[in-house]
Every structure is written in C-alpha cells, then in structure tokens.
Amino acid sequence: MESVDKAARVSEFADEMKAERIEVLDVYSKTVMADYLVICSGTSDLHVRSIADRIAEKMREDKMRARSIEGKESGWVLLDFGDVVCHVMREEQRQFYDLESLWKAMPKSESVES
C-alpha cells in the first residue's frame, strides 16, 4: 500500500472514533523518518487510547502492524507504521507542542533524495 493511502486509512480510522482536528501532513521532502504524519486529538486520556487502539486494530486487519506504539498512558500516543506516523493527543498537549506549525515551518531537507 502506498504511503498516501496508508495515511488516508489511518485518518479514516481516527475519524470513525470521533477524533477531532484530524490533519495529515506530507513530510516526505522534509525528513527521512516518514512520508506522512497524521495528527489528531482526543477529548480525554481514555478517548486518546481508544482512538489509538482502534487505529492499530484496523491497520492489523489491513495487514499493517505498527512498528511501535508509545505513550499509551500519557495522553499522547504515537503509532509508527514506518512511512506513516500517527500522533493521537489530548488537545492541551497538541496546543502546547504544536507539531503542525513545527512541521509546516520546517524547510525542505537537501539530504532527502527526491
């Protein structure tokens, strides 16, 4: 499955769980760590965990296992699917870290091959 399709699936599964402010960022030209970041918010720690669990479960059903899942008890869960990384965060943490602005402002990397 192409990276863009994988990111779309992650976004779709987050939406099924009523995640808020789902955003897909294309970071292909900015880093070698991933092609896309999916960032979304949950309304509570339980909601954040539920969104992350659902994404992991549905991706497994699509034969794509997360390489790692970090932070299940922190209000910020990171799911690493290789070329797609998903951040599920409580709104307070999302506003504090403001990953969207960070990645949007980051210039293209000359070390990333086109």
pTM to 2 decimal places: 0.91
Closest CA to 103 of 3, 25, 34: 25
> Rounded to an integer, what distance in angstroms lies between the CA atom of residue 67 and that of residue 92?
26
Range of the domain at 59: 3-99
Q: What is the mean pLDDT of the chain?
A: 93
> Residue 79, SS3?
strand
The CATH number for 47's domain is: 3.30.460.10
Quick one: pLDDT at residue 98?
Answer: 94
Q: Which two tokens stand for residue 49?
A: 């965990």
What is the count of structural domains for the chain? Answer: 1
Q: Is residue 112 part of a domain?
A: no
Q: Which residues contact 50 (CB under 8 A, 6 or more apart)?
A: 17, 42
- Percent with pLDDT over 90 in the chain: 84
List, for residues 12-64, the tens digit of each pLDDT value.
999 999 999 999 999 999 999 999 999 999 999 999 999 999 999 999 999 99
Q: Which secondary-structure segment (H or E) carries 93?
A: helix 91-97
Task: Look at residue 69 and tell me whether its pLDDT is greater than 80.
Answer: yes
- Strand bridging mode 68-70 / 36-42: unpaired
For residue 35, being part of any structural domain is answered with yes
10 found inside a domain: yes
Question: Got the DSSP string for 25-52?
Answer: EE-TTT-SS-SEEEEEEESSHHHHHHHH
pLDDT exceeds cutoff 60 at 114:
no
User: Has residue 107 been placed in a domain?
Assistant: no
